[in-house]
Structure 1
Amino acid sequence: MMDVAAMAGVSQATVSLVLNGSPGAKLADATRQRVLDAAHKLGYRLIGRDSRGASGMQSTVVFIADELSTDPWMALAFQGVRDKALEFGINACLAVSHGEINIETVVASQMSRLSPLGFIYGTILTRLVEVSPALAGDHTVLLNCYDAEREYPSVLPGDLLGGRTATERLIAAGYKRIGFINGQQGVDAARDRLKGYRQALASNDIPFDAALVRPGNWEPDSGYEMTLELMAMDHPPHAIFCANDMMALGCYDALAKLGLKVPDDIAVIGFDDREIAQHMHPPLTTLILPHYEMGEIAAEMLIDGANGLRARHNRIKVECELVERQSVE
């Protein structure tokens, strides 16, 4: 959609309105035609809304997010839900509950009048949740969260495997003394990425050194401060794994202050694959946080469940793919 928007000289929102056939969109005919022409030239596949829709199937998937923020994760997850639903001729709508059960109850009550296919409940942080009674039932899928009793199907990022993959990438490049700047303590993602880091070290017979692990807060300032601490050690690391790209941004700044070049003097790897990662100098090697794919899978699970198909495993972890750039030799 970004490519179509650039070729047509319009915004992504305009592309979405045209390609989804939104009847209420007030757009000039010439604008609509430019978008359609660009889509055709680029080979953009226009999905027929009714091409896979089952006869009599409810027409709406309701996505409830606990919050929206400057982080793109819930927006990406909803986009994945929406795109997959459209393949089946099903609409998707988004509501934000701010984690308040009374809001979730109101949303569920209002949407029940439309006989929705079901609900997808997503959280900005990967975490344990207690599912609202308003969402209880067979037609709810959890996204980026899970319930204690495993009563509900859930889709989660593979943070542990991702942490291992990042560390093994550095080990494969010849680094053995690897610093780790973790995220906020008590958060599932931080716990699992640290586990992956430790597993990779153990699998490669590299002793774990607790002094090489520093607590961050997911923000650039902690990446900056913790990098300075790591590099002030008597035996500083030769590579640094930052548990997210924002801390890697601060890490770059600290290394520049110390007169060190990435990756000539020290390698750095991040996690999340935020848009800024490809624009850093040098571009950051990182791992994708797969919320779009998680949204697609959650929608498929919901649709399959509505058609009587139940997955053997109701807790799916989606691989965080490594993106190679120039911050690791």
Structure 2
Amino acid sequence: MPAIKKKKVTMKDIAEKLNISVNAVSIALNDKVGVSEETRNLVLKTADEMGYFDENPSFIIKNHFKNICLLIEERNFRDTHFYTKVILGIENEARKNNFDILVNFMNKDDFQIPKSVESRKVSGILVVGTIKDEHLKMLLDYGIPIVQVDHSSFLINTDAVLTQNIPGSYMATKYLIDKGHTQIGFFGEIDFSLSFKERWLGFNEAMRTSELNVDPILNVNPGYCVIGSVEKYVLSKNYKEVANIISKMDKLPTAWVCSNDSAAITLYNALNILGLKVPDDISVVGFDDIDICKIVNPPLTTVRVNKELMGVKAVQKLLWRMNNIKEPYDHIRMEVKLIERGSVKDLR
């Protein structure tokens, strides 16, 4: 018996189901002026449910769905200090422009394309935090605009919203030098993220231009730096293990520049275990200016990043990209500012 051919869904079918004119359906599907936003959304929802877009994929490509896919690792989504503020900025700006945010968790070891992307039912993608190049390429193959937030690839071009990491870390290191510190180290896993790597580079440059602890290869005295696999201890708040690492160092610096504030606060606790005080024994500078910086003792000197604005700029760039597909890609660098508090001792 021959297979029964499925009847093709038409605009007339959608109009009859919603009891509106075919013209209204056409206006909504073609994203033209003439129907309310409520009617437009209802037509899109009904057309999707009836399978209209499966037979007419060109409508999806024209960005009719007011959805943005937000891709982020779950551990970053749970980060109440930094990424929560970035996501708040994303949600507020998306809502202001009548877009919904669809949050999807990505697993770097088992990456899956979100269903919303696979079916092309999103108008754009925001990748928040680190993503592997091969996974980014998989996303780009769908032809949907992408903006990376707090990360960018060295090999694959996309728009990105980043922080002035190198200038910020340079600024923090120079601040310590101006306070009379010459034995300065860097604390943080530099291969954990692009931001950490850039902050390490800013630290190096400040040390090099000040002719301090210059090493012909690393530019700094590696004995003062802890740049290996320590982020797992920072994330798990394993202060004893960090204290153990510090206790094995031949000589301690008078100050540490940290990869971020969480690393700095980890140092606070590890040094306390070793009977050392901030800033009396060792000064500490963080990066990001998360809320807890103000309430730790002593309050943490750090480099402020406008996290919510980073999210706002990411949405604005993505919306612009949707309408300017062929324009050159752009990287936006968010301004940073040194915030002086009580964690640095003046040695002058």
Q: Equivalent of 2:185, from 176, 179, 182?
A: 179
2:136 maps to 131
Cα drift, residue 148 of structure 1: 4.4
Instruction: State the match for 1:71 in structure 2.
Output: 79
Residue 212 of structure 2 is aligned to residue 206 of structure 1:
yes
Query: 1:321–1:250: structure 2 CA closer, same or farther, 3 Å change rule?
Result: same
Q: CA, structure 1 residues 75+250, in 2 after alignment: closer, same or farther (shift >3 Å)?
A: closer
Which among 292, 308, 316 is matched to residue 308 of structure 2? 292
Does residue 283 of structure 1 match 2:288?
no
- Mapped contact 2:190–2:200 kept (Cα < 8 A): no
Match of 2:247 in 1: 228
What corresponds to 2:280 in structure 1? Answer: 264
Structure 2 residue 90 is matched with structure 1 residue 85: no
* Cα distance change on mapping 1:212 and 1:174 into 2, 3 Å: same
1:215 counterpart residue number: 227
How far apart in 2 are the matches of 1:134 and 1:179?
39
After superposition, where does 1:136-155 map in structure 2 within 5 Å? 136-137=142-143, 139-155=145-161
Distance 2:162 2:65 in 1: 26
Q: Cα–Cα, structure 1 residues 108 and 285, in superposed 2: closer, same or farther, change >3 Å? A: same
Name the residue aligned to 1:190.
Answer: 196
Q: What displacement does 1:191 show?
A: 2.4
Structure 2 letter corresponding to 1:252: Y
Per-residue deviation, 1:196: 1.1
- Residue aligning to 1:163: 169
Q: Counterpart in 2 of 1:250? A: 266
Q: Is residue 143–residue 298 contact of structure 1 (8 Å, CA) maintained in 2?
A: yes
Deviations 1:259-312 (A, max 9, x none): 443223331112233333222111111224554332211111111123338776
Q: Distance in 1 between matches of 2:291 and 2:170?
A: 22
Give SS of 1:146's match: coil
Q: Distance in 2 between matches of 1:192 and 1:309?
A: 29
CA drift at 1:105: 4.6
Q: Displacement, 1:257?
A: 4.3
Which residue type is aligned with residue 330 of structure 2? N
Contact 1:66 1:97 (C-alpha < 8 Å) held by counterparts: yes
Write the deviation string for residues 74-128 of structure 1: whole angstroms up to 9, x where unpaired. 4333222121223333333322233478732522134x34xx43222223x3764
Query: Which 5+ residue runs of structure 1 have no aligned equivalent?
Result: 1-49, 51-55
Cα distance in 2 for residues equivalent to 1:101 and 1:254: 34
Please say which of residues 277-286 and 69-78 is displaced more in the overlay.
69-78
User: Is the CA contact (8 Å cut-off) linking 1:65 and 1:94 kept in structure 2?
Assistant: yes
Give 3-state SS (helix, strand or coil) of 1:249's partner: helix
Match of 2:106 in 1: 97
Distance 1:267 1:79, change over 3 A: same
Match of 1:13 in 2: none
Moved more, 205-214 or 219-228: 219-228
| Equivalent AA in structure 2 for residue 131 of structure 1 | L
Identify if the C-alpha distance between structure 1 residues 259 and 151 changes in structure 2 by more than 3 Å, giving closer, same or farther.
Answer: closer
For the residues of structure 1 that align with 2:318 and 2:124, how far apart are their CA atoms? 7
SS at match of 2:74: coil
5 Å matches for 1:110-121? 110=119, 112-113=120-121, 116-121=122-127
Larger Rg: 1 or 2?
A: 2
2:177 counterpart letter in structure 1: I
Preserved CA contact (<8 Å) 1:127 1:145: no
Counterpart residue number, 1:53: none
Change over 3 Å in CA distance of 1:212–1:102 after alignment to 2: closer
Give me the TM-score of the superposition, normalised by structure 1.
0.69
What CA deviation, in whole Å up to 9, does each residue of 1:210-264 have, x standing for no partner? 211123512153543344345x52xx32212222333322322343345443223
Distance 1:299 1:244 in 2: 24
1:103 aligned counterpart, secondary structure: coil
Q: Is the 8 A contact 2:133 2:156 kept in 1?
A: no
